[in-house]
Amino acid sequence: MKIKDLHINFNFKMLFVFAMFFWQATYSQDSIATYQEVEDYFALARTYKNQDKLDLSLESVYKALKKAEKLEDLKTIIDCYHELSLLYLKLNKIDQSIQLWQRADVLLKDSEYPYGSATHRYIDALHLMKEQKYYLANHELDKADKMTNVRNLTLHILLAKGFIYLELPKYTEAEKNFNSLIVNNDTNEKDYIASRAFLGLALLKSKTNEPEKGIEYALQGLDIAKKNNFFNEILELNSYLAATNEQLFKFEQALAFNKNLVQIKDSIYNETKVKTEAKKADNIYFETQKNTITNLTKENEQLKASSSRTEITAILTSAFLTIISLLAVSLYRNNQIKVKTNDLLQTKNNELEASRDAAVKAMEAKTNFLSTVSHELRTPLYAVTGLTHLLLEENPSESQQEHLKALKFSGDYLLSFINDILQLNKIDADKLEPVNTEFSLKKVLSEVISSLQQSAKENETKISLDYDENIPKSLLSDSMKISQILINLVGNGLKFTKKGDVTVITRLLRKSDDDVTIYFEVRDTGIGISDDQITNIFESFEQGSIQINREYGGTGLGLTIVKSLLGLFNSKIDLKSELGKGSSFFFELDMKSKSYTTEEEATAVIAPQDFDFKGLHILIVEDNKINQVITKKMLIKKEMTCEIASNGTDAVEMVSQTKYDAILMDIHMPGISGEEATILIRKFNKHTPIIALTAISLDDSLESFYAAGCNDVVTKPFKPEVFYQKIGEHVFNPKPLS
């Protein structure tokens, strides 16, 4: 048996695997010694067995079993059980032998051990032989033979088969088997097998009526048995020789062998031997049974533990699987919901995009429509207001004067309405952005006030400026828009205040480095606004009441424009008002301060100037015939002379030929625009004031007019006072172009 060919049954002894590795690695020297010990016990047991010292043999195998169990070496344990089974069989204790064989059977089921399985079948065959079931036994031996090529076992199988053939009877096969065994080369049991083979041959020869030959074989066998102390064989061969000699009437020889027999059987040795053997056999059987029970209990516990582990694993696995499936289901459902929601969102998104596009288109259409309509309305309106103004100046009759005043009022109303709409339209279409230019706030405020002095006079109201001198002289912001905001607010103040005061207040709230915050307030002592009205006052077309509208006029757009313009500066307007006492509108603006460069300090309040226009020679650049007539008449009215250019190219030509005191430049003309004409003129003429007269449309930029070289811009249709004021300013108080 190959003890070194040891394997650990991983399946069966899982728990001990780690321990074994550790143990083998640490104590490899000890482990080799231990395996050697086991092998020694086996060799000893074999010798004792063949000498029929079965108690000692049992003891050795039992010791080997103990070692094997310590080593957790399943194959060696199986070998031990097989050896024990064989020993009990020899002791004729068949039941014990079978039980030990069955124990090995259990262990074999958990291992892959061909030699063990072959031995197992071999022992089974021996049991069957005891029951005289020779065919079955032979069959088992055939199977065992196929399973192994371990020489010792193959020889024992041959031997057993030989004895079976004796019984079947198949003498030829029997003889063949025994003959092949009498000379064998087994390492450990050469002599034992040979003596058994001689015994077999001897028996065979008796059966084939060749007793002399039988005696020959028996004597050869006895010789070997005696040399090796094969007690059982000595007995068997002696009894064979006694009987066979008797058959051959060789009574002397028969007597001699019989004497030998009696001597052996009656010897003390034999008596004690039988007793000790029986006792030892019982003890060892008891021990192995106990051992088996302990092992079975251990295995049972392990199985229990592993089954409970398996149960826990099963529970955990099923819980895990349940969770996973739930997760999968919920993920799937979530996904479904997501897909549905996505589809829904996509549809909604498409709808929203479509409606947004439609809204943008509608907005663009509205903006363009308003722009076109208001622009188209302004040209004829220019004729209406201009001609009304001229007619009023031409000493109309009393009744005519009344009608003309009504006409002028309507024209002015329509004019401001259209201007307001256009302004709001421009803000809504995001066409307006604050443009930073350097300016003096004090000057801007003075100009606002001065432009409104006429209305103040009409209402017998005084406008005053409460200006904080700490405000930096030069600021950076959009002065045009600031003017517009204040014109609207001061205009409202004047409109709703009769014989009272309108004050424009400014305060420097904060200044750090270049950043300044300025507080603006327009306060009046007018009719005031009720709490109800205050809430909606900044909405489009919102007016205090029908009565107010009837009495004071207006479009309801002024404050909306103020709010929108302040929105461009990220600022908000607020108000305080008390009915009958007055109102106050206030807001804050952030600006940048500049080191002061402005040429002159503005006077606090500028009164409208009366200029003497007589003899001024003006060039009117205008493509519309009616407008040409009106503008011409307005100039003639103030005793000015003029020439007319119907397009930009003519205008450039004329300016290069003639000296004019001022040029009134229309912007939108066929051919080159007023802006382009201005640029061309400025190439050779830097001093003649050019005032752009334009019905500003959506895409026009005041900045670009100034950049082209215009000195000022008057939006058409203009109020005649504003028109004259601008001409006077630029002709009599010229300023260098920026």
Q: Which residue has the tokens 């409109």?
A: 495
CA angle at 183 for the pair 178 and 187, rounded to the nearest 5°: 115
Residue from the set 221, 554, 674, 689 that interacts with ligand ADP by CB under 6 A:
554
Site stretch for ligand ADP (CB under 6 A), options 36-44, 52-60, 555-563, 658-666: 555-563
- In 478-539 the beta strands, taken as DSSP E runs, fall at 501-512, 515-524
Kindly write out the interface string for residues 577-596 of this chain, putting x where it contacts ligand ADP by CB under 6 A and - elsewhere.
------x-------------
Which stretches within 658-719 are classed as H helix?
Answer: 674-684, 702-708
d(CA 420, CA 422): 5
Contact between residue 122 and residue 142 where contact means Cβ atoms under 8 Å apart: no
Subset of residues 258 to 317 that bind ligand ADP, contact rule: CB under 6 A:
none
Query: Quick check: 61 and 41 in contact, CB under 8 A?
Result: yes
Shortest reach from residue 527's CB to ligand ADP, in Å: 5
Question: Should residue 558 be labelled a site residue for ligand ADP when binding is judged by CB under 6 A?
Answer: yes
Q: How far is the CB of 543 from ligand ADP (least distance, A)?
A: 3
- Other Cβ atoms less than 10 A from the Cβ of 529: the count is 20
Query: For residues 258 and 555, which CB has a smaller minimum distance to ligand ADP in the complex?
Result: 555
Peptide bond into 114 cis (omega under 30): no
Cα–Cα dist 637/662, whole Å: 16
CA distances from 123 to 99, 108, 281 (A): 12, 14, 18
In the complex, what is the shortest distance from the CB of residue 483 to ligand ADP, in angstroms, rounded to a whole number? 16
Instruction: Name the minimum Å distance from CB 597 to ligand ADP.
Output: 35
544 in contact with ligand ADP (CB under 6 A) = yes
What secondary structure letter does DSSP report for 267?
S
Q: Name the residue nearer to ligand ADP (CB basis): 159 or 421.
A: 421
Which one of residues 492, 593, 647, 715 is an interface residue with ligand ADP (CB under 6 A)?
492
Report if residue 563 touches ligand ADP, rule: CB under 6 A.
no
Q: Does 559 bind ligand ADP (CB under 6 A)?
A: yes
Q: Which of the stretches 91-99, 310-318, 395-403, 554-562 binds ligand ADP when contact is defined by CB under 6 A?
A: 554-562
Closest CA to 691 of 634, 637, 626: 634
Give the shortest CB-476-to-ligand ADP separation in angstroms.
Answer: 28
The binder of ligand ADP chosen from 441, 537, 618, 691 (CB under 6 A): 537
Q: CA torsion sign, 15 to 18 to 24 to 26?
A: negative
283/540 with CB nearer ligand ADP = 540
Task: Give the residue with the Cβ less far from ligand ADP, 476 or 548.
Answer: 548
* Rounded (10°) angle between helices 231-247 and 211-228: 160
The residue assigned the tokens 């088996």 is: 292
The distance of closest approach from Cβ of residue 602 to ligand ADP in the complex, given in angstroms and rounded to an integer, is: 25
One of 244, 555, 564, 673 touching ligand ADP (CB under 6 A):
555
The least distance separating ligand ADP from the CB of residue 537, rounded to whole angstroms, comes to 5
Q: Which is nearer to ligand ADP, 173 or 542 (CB)?
A: 542
Buried b (16+ CB within 10 A) or exposed e, 649-674: ebbbebbeeeebbbbbbbbbbeebbb
Site for ligand ADP (CB under 6 A): which residue of 84, 104, 529, 635?
A: 529
Q: Which of 396, 434, 500, 556 binds ligand ADP (CB under 6 A)?
A: 556
The C-alpha atoms of residue 726 and residue 220 are separated, in whole angstroms, by 158
Q: Cis bond leading into 169, ω under 30°?
A: yes
Between 554 and 674, whose beta carbon lies closer to ligand ADP?
554
The least distance separating ligand ADP from the CB of residue 459, rounded to whole angstroms, comes to 12
Question: Taking a C-beta distance cutoff of 8 angstroms, is the pair 505, 520 a contact?
Answer: yes
Q: What is the 3-state secondary structure (H, E, C) of 68-129?
A: HHHCCCHHHHHHHHHHHHHHHHHCCCHHHHHHHHHHHHHHHHCCCCHHHHHHHHHHHHHHHH
**Residue number closest to ligand ADP, CB atom:** 544
With binding defined as CB under 6 A, does residue 548 bind ligand ADP?
yes
Minimum distance from residue 539 beta carbon to ligand ADP (Å): 8
Interaction of residue 113 with ligand ADP, rule CB under 6 A: no
Alpha carbon distances (Å) from 658 to 647, 650, 652, 729: 16, 12, 10, 22
Q: Please identify, among the stretches 81-89, 172-180, 492-500, 639-647, the one whose residues bind ligand ADP according to the rule CB under 6 A.
A: 492-500
Question: What is the rounded CA–CA span in Å between residue 151 and residue 135?
Answer: 23
Measured CA to CA in angstroms, residue 657 lies from 356, 495, 619, 653, 681 at distances of 56, 47, 12, 6, 11
Q: Which is nearer to ligand ADP, 547 or 595 (CB)?
A: 547
Q: Are 567 and 589 in contact (CB under 8 A)?
A: no
| Contact between residue 689 and residue 735 where contact means Cβ atoms under 8 Å apart | no
Closest to 474 in 3D by CA, of 588, 569, 591: 591
Interaction between residue 524 and ligand ADP (CB under 6 A): yes
- Could you tell me the smallest distance in angstroms from the CB atom of residue 534 to ligand ADP? 9
Q: Which is nearer to ligand ADP, 404 or 559 (CB)?
A: 559
Q: Is 245 a binder of ligand ADP (CB under 6 A)? A: no
Q: By C-beta, is 543 or 627 nearer to ligand ADP?
A: 543
Structure tokens at 514: 């270049």
Q: Which range touches ligand ADP (CB under 6 A), out of 33-41, 129-137, 397-405, 520-528?
A: 520-528
For the window 324-353, what string marks contact with ligand ADP as x by the rule CB under 6 A? Answer: ------------------------------
If the CB atoms of residues 138 and 555 are measured against ligand ADP, the closer one turns out to be: 555
Residue placing its CB nearer to ligand ADP in the complex, 427 or 642 = 427
Stretch of 358-366, 447-455, 457-465, 553-561 lying at the interface with ligand ADP (CB under 6 A): 553-561
- What is the smallest separation between the CB atom of 408 and ligand ADP, expressed in angstroms? 18
Q: Which two tokens stand for residue 404?
A: 């003309």
Indicate which single residue of 242, 527, 663, 680 sits in contact with ligand ADP (rule: CB under 6 A).
527
Asked if residue 421 binds ligand ADP (CB under 6 A), the reply is no
Name the segment binding ligand ADP (CB under 6 A); options: 343-351, 372-380, 491-499, 625-633: 491-499
Pairing of strands 690-694, 712-715: parallel
Q: Give the nearest distance from C-beta 453 to ligand ADP in angstroms.
A: 17
Q: Give min distance, CB of 389 to ligand ADP, in A.
A: 22
Count, residues near ligand ADP per rule CB under 6 A = 21
The position carrying tokens 């950043």 is: 515
Q: How far is the CB of 424 from ligand ADP (least distance, A)?
A: 11
204 Cβ neighbours under 8 A, 6+ residues apart = 166, 171, 174, 175, 178, 214
Residue 486 makes contact with ligand ADP by CB under 6 A: no
Strand pairing report for 582-594 and 574-578: antiparallel
Nearest to 441 by CA among 491, 402, 476: 476
Q: Judged by CB, which is closer to ligand ADP: 542, or 676? A: 542
Which one of the spans 92-100, 166-174, 348-356, 489-497 is the region binding ligand ADP (CB under 6 A)?
A: 489-497
What is d(CA 80, CA 78) in angstroms, rounded to the nearest whole number?
5
- For residue 563, the minimal CB distance to ligand ADP (Å) is 9
Check binding of 383 to ligand ADP (CB under 6 A).
no
Residue ranges that bind ligand ADP, judged by CB under 6 A:
492-493, 496, 524, 526-529, 537, 542-544, 548, 554-560, 583
